[in-house]
Amino acid sequence: TAQGPKDPDDAEVRAAAVSRLRELGEHAASVGLPMALELYEDTYLGTADSAVRLVEEIGLDNVGLNADVANLIRLH
């Protein structure tokens, strides 16, 4: 029942996350790999709207979502 990680509701932190994930996505693309971001509650990937927004902000064709819905319904 332990609380999992929780991303802050902070525009500067979110922008840093987008920048860093974009950098990883660019590296993945440079070696021909896709990159999947897995849904996880209480993070920037915790809701459908937030996850889609994050992928759109990253803005790379090789970055997408892994809709692991078990992470949204499981207990800690």
- pLDDT, tens digit, 9 for 90 and up, residues 32-60: 999 999 988 888 988 889 999 999 999 99
Q: Is the pLDDT of residue 6 over 90?
A: no
| pLDDT of res. 68 | 77
| pLDDT of res. 76 | 53
Does residue 67 lie in a domain region? yes
Does residue 4 lie in a domain region? no
For the chain, the 3-state helix, strand and coil shares in percent, each to the nearest 5, are 45, 10, 45
Contact between 32 and 4 under an 8 Å Cβ cutoff? The reply is no
Total of domains in the chain: 1
Mean pLDDT of 17-35: 98
Domain that holds residue 24: 11-73
pTM: 0.83
Query: What token pair was written down for 9?
Result: 């509701």
